Chains A and B, each alone.
Chain A
Amino acid sequence: MFEMLLIEGIAIGACYGLFGVAVAIIYKTSDVINFAQGEMGMVATFVAYHVLTVYNVPFWLAFPVTLIFAILLGMAIEFCFLRPAKDPTVLGLLIITLGAEMLLMGLAGWKWGAEQKDFPFLLSVTKTHEMLPGIFINEWTIGVFSLSIIIMISLFLFFRYSKLGIAMRATQQNVNAAKIMGIKVERVFSITWAMSSLIGAVAAMFFAARSVLDPNFMMEPFMRAFAAAVLGGLTSIPGVVVGGLILGIIENFFGYAWPEWKPIVAFVVIILIITVRPSGLFAKHYIKKV
């Protein structure tokens, strides 16, 4: 039982971590907390659902279509809502992304209705394989593991070695200096949103396969993932992943012992931890200098 709970916790934690990374990428580059992230993933998942069920397209084709849609959606939101705001405040940015969240939620509800749907995902939660004697792992978990490892490694390499990744880090450190160095900052923001939306859409599809699909389904996972990202420290991508894993494991064990308090354990943990370490577990804490 212990191993099963642990594996389950790590799997859901990896999913939180993946989604948290989507939040953290945007925060890292542009200091925006994207509250619309969950709803962007939700709309992308609905597009996948629409393509799969209405047009009867096979999954291998629907998946890339969804990813392209997610990229365009991320770029569109950045271009239409964030770029026109001149020198917005932290609160202003928060309001813009919250507005985008409500907009997307309303649009999804208008288009697909509020009733819950089953998302036909390639990897099933019920089909299990016996990996080690006595330990059964379902396909979904294997998918989450392999995908999150691939994404983490490629992100690590991307931010470390690629020109664009370095440009993103430069933009985060100092926008004006980056501009002087010849970096097209606006294009960097646009690409950041596209990447984040892409990763978010993948994670959202995994979440949808586990639960049901309705316009509200990403709300709770988003807040958990955001909490996990804060737990690890929003500016460090490995920190976010570890934060997600910690949160997933704690939540799963706690949920096993006291099922009815499962929904709030994440937030109690977060409030306690950020009270002690305000910048999360793994990010460097900067004290504001005068």
Chain B
Amino acid sequence: MFLEHSDAKKINVQQHVNQPSICGYAMDMKRDYYEDVELFRSGTILTWSIVLLVFLFTLPVYLPSYNIYLLNIIMVNIILAVGLNILVGYTGQISLGHAGFFAIGAYGTSLIMMNFHFPFFAAIILAALIAAFFGFIIGLPALRLEGPYLAIATLGFGLTIMHIIGRWDFFGGRMGITAPPLDMGISGTSFSYVIQGDVKIYYLILMMTVLLVIGARNLMKTRVGRAFMSIRDDDIAAEVMGVNLTIYKTLAFAVSAFYAGVAGGLYGFVVGFFDPFTFNLILSIIFLVMITVGGLGSIMGAIMGAMLITYLQYDLLKNVENLPYLGALLTTVSKKWFTVIGLANFSSIALGLIMITIVIFEPLGMFGIWIRIKKYWKTWPF
């Protein structure tokens, strides 16, 4: 319902793409159910996916350590964006509170490991399940709310979580907490196996990212995923068709919160230290930007958006004055009309402009651009 228009456009685009094309391979019509659910549509895609995976696994060999840190953050954001896209892009519910689920994941994982000495996987899954439970709770009012009302309810949830964590000493209060050693076994016993360093964490996160992304992709091809999409397109029609709105809306929130919880748990170990104000409203907005810029309602869009926005935020726009040409220009402008010290705010300006231009000129996001490029080259001389 919220996405009526862009859906119409997307369906349009996909119809173009799905036409038995002139080249006549890979992209023609799906003829049976198996073709719809299969993971790799052709041998080419399978081969390139394997090449990409091998490339990702060997990446730490030839990348400096700071870039590995950046990659870790990017992958954490990919997990979150994919989860958020399940809720916003596929089910059509707005959430401005995902920083809250992210925080639950981060604090939950670290605190469970610190206080109960759980192994890492048990802790992160438990924390993500707690986040999913909160997602379920927030999904209950969402049954009756839509649009701005849902936005304010989720926004309120995110802020409430941030404040509760900030006031409660059990969570480390305003000072924040340091993540415990990343222990795969039980710490303090002979089963202890501590993972240290960005590179090892990179492999851990890479594995989880691949699993969760494939999981999301498969989920969207099942009965559950189709129910989500039918709710997005028209909830009343979906209900008439026999989709149980109560179950599927709360499930969408829970699944999305689960992803956010896992991402949060990993984020805690990537940065090592976090405080409640890390998880503020701006973070929720940035998560929303990732999926909008990448493309609503597509897994690949979420991945591309998370990559671009994280890169912009953590790398390109962080030291904007060091950029060639633009940096010098901005410094001059700053000296003349603004303040040089305030130039750090430039990333906020740039992100704001990106958000606005994407909605105005390319509502399908980067995924829409990708589809167009692909179509252009497939049917090239024509």
Contact = CB atoms under 8 A, between A and B. Distances in A.
A267 B157 contact: yes
B193 interface: no
A264 B348 contact: no
Interface stretch (A88-96, A173-181, A187-195): A88-96
A87 B3 CA distance: 11
A111 B338 contact: yes
A113 B342 contact: yes
A240 to B, nearest CB: 13
Contacts of B167: 260-261
Interface residues of B, number: 58
Interface in A65-122: 81, 84-85, 87-96, 98-114
B159 interface: yes
B356 A96 contact: yes
A268 interface: yes
Contacts of A288: 236
A99 B354 contact: yes
A100 B149 contact: no
A279 B149 contact: yes
A99 B342 contact: no
Given A90-B2, A91-B296, A264-B160, A230 B149 contact: yes
B141 A274 contact: yes
B177 interface: no
A88 B349 contact: no
A100 B353 CA distance: 8
B3 A89 contact: yes
A109 B346 CA distance: 9
Contact of A275 (B140, B147, B359, B360): B140
Contact of A274 (B88, B153, B349): B153
Contacts of B292: 91-92, 95
Interface stretch (B70-78, B127-135, B281-289): B281-289
A35 B343 CA distance: 24
Contact of A95 (B140, B149, B155, B355): B355
B102 to A, nearest CB: 18
* Max chain B Cβ within 10 angstroms of own Cβ: one of A268, A270, A271: A271
Given A95-B288, A114-B342, A230-B148, A271 B141 contact: yes
Given A89-B6, A274-B152, A112 B339 contact: yes
B352 A101 contact: yes
A216 B82 CA distance: 30
A263 B165 CA distance: 13
B145 interface: yes
Contact of A99 (B155, B337, B359): B359
Interface stretch (A53-61, A150-158, A219-227, A246-254): A219-227
A290 B1 CA distance: 12
Contacts of A255: none
Contact of A98 (B343, B355, B363): B355
Contacts of A237: none
Contacts of B224: none
A223 B157 CA distance: 12
A202 interface: no
A216 to B, nearest CB: 9
A100 B164 contact: no
Contacts of A274: 141, 145, 149, 152-153
Interface string B135-178: 00000110011011101110111011001100100000000000
Given A27-B148, A270-B153, A271-B156, A109 B359 contact: no
Contacts of B338: 110-111
Interface residues of A, number: 54
A33 interface: yes
B334 interface: yes
A290 B234 CA distance: 10
B94 A278 contact: no
A278 to B, nearest CB: 4
Contacts of B2: 89-91
A92 B342 contact: no
Given A90-B94, A110-B338, A102 B355 contact: yes
Given A91-B3, A102-B355, A223-B159, A113 B341 contact: yes
Interface string A231-253: 00010000000000000000000
A271 B360 contact: no
B351 interface: yes
Nearest to A260: B167
B15 interface: no
A275 B292 CA distance: 28
A93 B341 CA distance: 32
Contacts of A223: 155-156, 159, 281
B35 interface: no
Contacts of B163: 261, 263-264
Contacts of B349: 102-103, 106-107, 110
Contacts of A111: 337-339, 342
A89 B339 contact: no
Given A94-B151, A110-B338, A275-B144, 14 more contacts: A27-B148, A81-B356, A89-B6, A89-B363, A102-B285, A105-B345, A106-B345, A110-B349, A114-B342, A114-B345, A223-B155, A261-B163, A267-B155, A275-B153
Interface of B: 2-6, 88, 94, 140-141, 144-145, 147-149, 151-153, 155-157, 159-160, 163-164, 167, 236-237, 281-282, 285, 288-289, 292, 296, 334, 337-339, 341-356, 358-360, 363
20 contacts: A89-B5, A91-B94, A98-B352, A99-B351, A99-B352, A99-B356, A102-B285, A102-B348, A103-B356, A105-B352, A106-B347, A107-B345, A107-B349, A109-B344, A110-B339, A223-B155, A234-B148, A261-B163, A266-B156, A267-B157
